[in-house]
Amino acid sequence: MGGMKAEKKQLIITTPYGPYKVVLEPEPDMGGYMITVPKRPDVISWGKNLAHAKRMAKEAIECSVEGSVLIAAEKEGIISLRKQRVVA
């Protein structure tokens, strides 16, 4: 980019749960883009190029929303999530 600092990109990702604004920031060490979602601070991901970053953002948003729904349902006693012990 001829010495110019790469700029953040903002775009809207459409998910089954509605549209979300995402911020794509060039990742200088690994290349590609780091992804954050202002409305879902638990969402941080990475994509090797713009198309991959968009797919990863959509997937991360969907997982975040679905996880929130499951946690809320467990707190209400609607479901019981089984916790498995990990043996190394």
- How far apart are the C-alpha atoms of 72 and 64, rounded to whole Å? 12
24: in domain: yes
The domain of 22 spans 9-75
Q: pTM score, two decimals?
A: 0.80
- How far apart are the C-alpha atoms of 60 and 62, rounded to whole Å? 5
87: in domain: no
Q: What are the beta bridge partners of residue 35?
A: 24, 45
In this prediction, residue 46 has a pLDDT band, given cuts at 50, 70 and 90, of very high
3: in domain: no
85: in domain: no
- The pLDDT, as a whole number, for residue 20 is 98
56: in domain: yes
Domain count, the chain: 1
88: in domain: no
In this prediction, residue 1 has a pLDDT band, given cuts at 50, 70 and 90, of very low
Least Cα distance to 42 among 62, 28, 19 occurs for 62
63: in domain: yes
- How far apart are the C-alpha atoms of 29 and 19, rounded to whole Å? 30
